[in-house]
Each structure stands twice: as structure tokens, then as C-alpha cells.
Amino acid sequence: MQQRPVLLVIAHGSRDPRHAATVHALVRRVRSRRPGLRVEVGFLDFNTPSVQGVLESLAAEGVRDVIALPLLLTRAFHAKADIPAVLRDAPPRLRIRQAEVLGPSPLLLHALERRLYEAGLTPADRSSTGIVLASAGSTDPEAMAVITDIARTWERSGWCVVRPAFASAALPRTQDAVRELRARGVRRVAVAPYVIAPGRLPDRIAAGAAEAGADVLADVLGPAPELAALLLDRYAAAARDRYPAMA
């Protein structure tokens, strides 16, 4: 019987050691949820193992099938260009399918709310709390449109108001979005980082929240159980598309 494809989680990488530590914690949670599934992780830059190195090791072991899953929340440059380029250079014996990025998904909204509640909010605060949905930012119009749509969807779930903000590449910045909500008379303002792991841009989000006096700053999504479930959902969808008998 043919084995299930290996799940290769592809992370961006960072000079900040918290980034890789968070990615590995998330991967451990994925493994714990699916003990029979082989899960590997590779980084595009800064950290080891590299994606190319993992692919070469898998090929040397005799692995044939790999699902490459971008650890990304939007389908921007890394998902459209960087990752496909790395996968094209993989050993030819490997059969690789690139899974969809993680967002958008209701599971991500659940994870965002988990972090807000861990930071001190309660469900009773929803109608009186304005949320700044702070993402890394992108020059890709598709990615930016997705963030705006997520904010609208999340607002309809009962929060007073949800405004997107960006740490780079686009406006408004986190601090400006916080001040806008204050100017509108929103009683309580919380910043929800729509990022997976700590690093330079999440630190910029936190600094903006502090500068503008946000009442609540949630943690990054990190190894939230919802993210682990979402990784497995994306893996399963990719496996069904290419290997129906093994999904």
C-alpha cells in the first residue's frame, strides 16, 4: 500500500530566534494530532533546515510524495513566486503538490479570538470593543483584499468594529488605526496581530499598539490548536486532489 505523502511545512524564516521556535512548536502540535503522518519543516531563509535541504533528504530516503504547505496567511509573493521556485528545483524523483495557504479560514478567526480572550477580553466585551486586525502587509492586491474581507467578516460576528492595519507596505499602520477608532468614540480598542510567529514586523505591531495606547494587545497566533487543525485541513485537501486513495 502506498504511504501517505509527507507533509512539508514551509516557513519564511527569521533572524529572530522566536520565529523558528514558534514554527517548531506549531509543527509539534500538528504531529501530536496526527501521529501516523510524517511532518517535516523547512525554511526559505535565515533558519535551518532549508526547504531544499529537506527535499534532498527526503529524496535520498526514497520518499516519493510530498505535500508542500506554505505557512502563510495570504497568497502573496512568497506563495506565488518564492515557494514554487524552490519546489521546481527539488530532486526530480519527488512528486510534490503545493497546498493552499492558510487564510482565509474560520479557524483563523477562532484563533484570533482565542488570543484576545487570553489577553483579557471576554465574549461580553464584543459589542463595546473595536479591533485592529494588524497584519504584516503586502504589495500584492489580492493579499490586501483578503485582509480587508477578513476584517469585514469578523466585524459581522459581533465586534463593535474591526479595522485592518499593516506593519509594512500599506497603510494604515497599527497606531493610526487605533487612533481612528478612538476618534470614533470606541470605548475599548484591542489589537489582534494576524501573524503566525514573533519577529520584526510583529514587534512593529506591538510598538504601534503601545504608542497609541491600545487597551489590549493579543499575542501572535503561534501554535494555537486552530492553526494545527488548519494545517491538517490544508494537507487533506491537497492530498484528496492529487492522491484520492490516500486522503
Residue-wise pLDDT for 77-117, tens only, equals 888 989 999 999 999 999 999 999 999 999 999 999 999 99
**What are the φ and ψ backbone dihedral angles of 38, each rounded to 5 degrees?**
-80, 125
- DSSP-H helix ranges across 99-167: 106-118, 141-155
Helix, strand, or coil (residue 158): coil
Per-residue pLDDT tens digits for 66-87: 999 999 999 988 889 899 999 9
pTM for this predicted structure: 0.94
C-alpha angle 213-196-137 in degrees, rounded to nearest 5: 65
Amino acid at 5: P
Inter-residue contact 44 to 78 (CB < 8 Å): yes
Which pLDDT band, with edges at 50, 70 and 90, does 44 fall under?
Answer: very high
Per-residue pLDDT tens digits for 187-202: 999 999 999 999 999 9
For residue 42, the number of C-alpha atoms closer than 13 Å in the C-beta half-sphere is 22
Which residues touch 29 (CB under 8 Å, ≥6 apart)?
Answer: 223, 225, 227, 228
Inter-residue contact 174 to 212 (CB < 8 Å): yes
Residue 102 burial (C-beta neighbours within 10 Å; 0-12, 13-18, 19+): buried
